[in-house]
């Protein structure tokens, strides 16, 4: 799937591997993420497939930069993938849930500490979705009004992230109360 995440990003504009990492971190990280090393490996692979091409851009005082462009074959592959129905549910992994499932042997304060740390982290995500992400979408559409339809769908995925995190916060609050009352 990273292949199509990168093709989707390159469909907007040419980018370096580093630019792609920044783009994914600011745009799709609430539902898809990748390490920089994965991005570079995938770029190499899809360039071999002829879905992207790259050129080297010299920089003064820095190493040359490799910039990737989507090819017509890459656009076609992306659009074919976008048209394919997705007929399954992705498997979900959550380390906190795994730890919590087996934590009954721990003392109350240790469990509560873990839950409260996670609550703080999830609250930061909600704050990001409600401020920085909204601002980024707004600024992008102000600079590029032709991306209005894209922005509607970007905001739909932002709202999913926000709502998911709000549910997670509610669950954390309930679980903290459960542990406080029963351990």
Q: Would you kindly state where each structural domain of the chain is located, as residue ranges?
A: 2-83, 95-182
Facing residues of 70 across strands?
A: 52
Q: What pLDDT is stored for residue 30 in this prediction?
A: 85
Q: Residue 21 and residue 4: Cα distance in Å, rounded?
A: 14
Q: What pLDDT is stored for residue 92 in this prediction?
A: 86
Q: Which residue has the higher pLDDT, 155 or 29?
A: 155
pLDDT above 90 for 40: yes
Q: Residue 51 and residue 33: Cα distance in Å, rounded?
A: 21
Tell me the mean pLDDT in the region 156-170.
97
Helix axes 2-10, 72-83, angle to 10 degrees: 120
**Strand (E) or helix (H) holding 45:** helix 36-48
pLDDT above 90 for 39: yes
The mean pLDDT of the chain is 95
pTM recorded for the entire structure:
0.85
Which tens digit of pLDDT belongs to each residue from 50-103? 999 999 999 899 889 999 999 999 999 999 999 999 999 998 899 999 999 999
Do 67 and 47 touch, CB atoms closer than 8 A?
A: no
Looking at domain 2-83, its CATH architecture is: Orthogonal Bundle (1.10)
């Amino acid at each position: 799937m990273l292949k199509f995440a990168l093709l989707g990003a390159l469909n907007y504009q040419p980018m370096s591997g580093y630019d792609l990492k920044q783009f994914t971190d600011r745009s799709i990280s609430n539902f898809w993420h990748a390490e920089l090393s994965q991005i570079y490996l995938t770029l190499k692979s899809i360039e071999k497939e002829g879905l992207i091409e790259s050129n080297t851009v010299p920089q003064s005082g820095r190493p040359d930069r490799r910039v990737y462009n989507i090819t017509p074959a890459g656009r076609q592959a992306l659009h074919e993938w976008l048209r394919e129905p997705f007929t399954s549910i992705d498997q979900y992994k959550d380390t906190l849930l795994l730890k919590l499932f087996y934590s009954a042997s721990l003392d109350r304060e240790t469990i509560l500490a873990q839950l409260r740390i996670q609550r703080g982290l999830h609250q930061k995500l909600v704050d990001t979705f409600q401020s920085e992400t909204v601002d980024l979408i707004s600024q992008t559409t102000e600079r590029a009004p032709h991306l209005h339809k894209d922005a509607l769908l970007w905001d739909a995925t932002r709202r999913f992230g926000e709502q998911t995190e709000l549910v997670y916060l509610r669950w954390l609050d309930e679980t903290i109360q459960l542990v406080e009352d029963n351990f």
